[in-house]
Amino acid sequence: MDRSRKANREGNEVTLQHKSQKQAVLIEELVEEKLAERQATLEQLKQTPEGMAELERRTKAFGECTRIDGETSTQFYAKLCRWLDREIPQTKSPLHPPRQIVD
């Protein structure tokens, strides 16, 4: 077995995962933009009765989604996306399907 090939492959993987300073800044700016868009969407939801009801259901099901001190924008954006995109579990289901009365 050629151990140098494995060492080279591992070295290449580490190199490929490295981000330059410029790339890191661009990614951070993109995350900030997307976070601002999500927060604007939340503000729009608060303006409608249906949106407020949706946010209340999410808060009741998952708790508040607020930014914690020291949390990066990337971490908060991921948490906010999960909070908004998760399916709300159905709390009650009828024992029997609704009856349809035909005249």
Residue 1 pLDDT > 60: no
In the numeric block, which tokens belong to residue 102?
A: 């035909």
In the numeric block, which tokens belong to residue 53?
A: 């009801």
Q: What is the pLDDT of residues 5-61, one digit of tens each?
A: 666 666 666 666 667 888 888 989 999 999 999 999 999 999 999 999 999 999 998
Closest listed residue to residue 30, CA positions, set 75, 74, 80, 81: 74
Tell me which of 86 and 94 has the higher pLDDT.
Answer: 86
Looking at residue 101, its pLDDT comes to 72
pTM: 0.65
Looking at residue 56, its pLDDT comes to 93
